[in-house]
């Protein structure tokens, strides 16, 4: 009987530890800067969005260095689907995924957990920056799934003695996506100069997004740069306010199950 009770407790503990829970809100004034090398000095900078699929390529092979190679030359990036430090990482062995990306590209970095699992932060998004980050806040988004939690990270960035707001997010595929998108777009609308990037899991026909794109102050930077031939089906976005789109590039799916998008921006005069 005692052995049965112990077995029951162990199984119950494993079920409880396996269950995903929201990571919660966080805020701060600094990023990890141990790998930051140089800052952009020209009159433009590059911003990217990339869902790295936890470093797994489109053919199922996991290689975080392939994602790092695409990101290394940009100045500011919002990353989605990033694994948190593993238990071995927490014990001082190896590098977590966000840290690997930062070291390869010379970025300051921040991991932004969306959920906890196995008694630790499990996965989330990340911010990589060669620009000065003055402060940041990660906010959990409304959830109807009970397991696939989402967030947005809002950071104040300083560049050329002026500031702007950078927002990175990854929205749900189904339940509650419209509500999440509305919350993110309302945050974006607060700022006269801002960049919103992420995997929205939404095309331009999503009503909330379609309404935002009709705003004359908001630019669909990927469309303006003419770097995606399939804009109608695109679910990854770089929206800007108060910037001029100077150009960009896209790398097709392969390294991830999402394309990589990079845009060059300057301040609007």
CA distance 59 to 137: 35
Q: What is the pLDDT of residue 90?
A: 57
Token pair 């940009």 in the structure block, residue: 74
Q: Give dist(CA 79, CA 125) in Å, integer.
A: 6
Token pair, residue 5, equals: 């009770």
Name the token pair of 261: 């998008």
Cβ 81 vs Cβ 54: under 8 Å: yes
Query: Could you state, in chain order, the average pLDDT of each consecutive group of 10 residues for the chain (269 residues)?
Result: 52 48 92 92 94 87 93 98 71 74 97 78 92 98 88 97 97 93 98 98 97 96 93 95 97 96 95
- Residue 93 to residue 99: CA distance in whole angstroms: 13
Which residue ranges form the domains of the chain, and what is each CATH number?
22-267 (3.60.10.10)
Q: Which residues contact 66 (CB under 8 A, 6 or more apart)?
A: 55, 57, 255
pLDDT the model gives residue 14: 41
What's this model's pTM, rounded to 2 decimal places?
Answer: 0.91
**pLDDT score, position 265:** 98
Q: What is the 3-state secondary structure (H, E, C) of the chain?
A: CHHHHHHHHHHHHHHHHHCCEECCCEEECCCECCCCCCCCCCCCEEEEEEECHHHECCCCCECHHHHHHHHCCCCEEEEEEEECCCHHHHCCCCCCHHHHHHHHHCCEEEEEEEEEECCEEEEEEEEEECCEEEEEEEEECCCCCCCCCCEEEEEEEEECCEEEEEEEEECCCCCCHHHHHHHHHHHHHCCCCEEEEEECCCCCCCHHHHHHHCCCCCEEHHHHCCCCCCHHHCCEEEEEECEEEEEEEEECCCCCCCCEEEEEEEECC
103: Cβ contacts below 8 Å, ≥ 6 apart: 35, 95
């Amino acid at each position: 009987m005692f052995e049965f009770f112990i077995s029951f407790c162990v199984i119950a503990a494993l079920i409880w530890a396996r269950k995903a829970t929201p990571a919660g809100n966080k805020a701060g004034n600094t990023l990890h800067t141990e790998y930051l090398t140089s800052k952009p000095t020209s009159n433009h900078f590059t911003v990217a969005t990339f869902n790295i699929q936890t470093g797994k390529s489109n053919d199922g092979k996991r290689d975080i260095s392939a994602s790092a190679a695409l990101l290394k030359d940009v100045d500011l990036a919002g990353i989605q689907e990033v694994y948190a430090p593993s238990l071995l990482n927490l014990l001082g062995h190896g590098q977590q995924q966000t840290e690997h990306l930062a070291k390869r590209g010379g970025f300051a970095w921040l991991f932004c957990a969306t959920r906890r699992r196995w008694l630790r932060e499990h996965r989330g998004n990340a911010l990589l920056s060669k620009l000065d980050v003055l402060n940041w806040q990660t906010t959990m988004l409304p959830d109807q799934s009970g397991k696939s939690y989402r967030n947005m990270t809002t950071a104040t960035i300083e560049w050329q003695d002026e500031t702007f707001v950078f927002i990175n997010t990854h929205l749900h595929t189904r339940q509650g996506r419209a509500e999440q998108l509305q919350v993110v777009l309302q945050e974006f609308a607060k700022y006269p100069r801002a960049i919103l990037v992420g995997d929205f899991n939404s095309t331009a026909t999503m009503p909330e997004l379609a309404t935002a794109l009709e705003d004359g102050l908001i630019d669909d930077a990927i469309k303006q740069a003419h770097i995606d031939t399939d804009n109608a089906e695109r679910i990854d976005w770089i929206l800007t306010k108060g910037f001029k789109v100077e150009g960009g590039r896209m790398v097709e799916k392969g390294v991830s199950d999402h394309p990589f998008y990079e845009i060059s921006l300057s301040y609007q005069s």
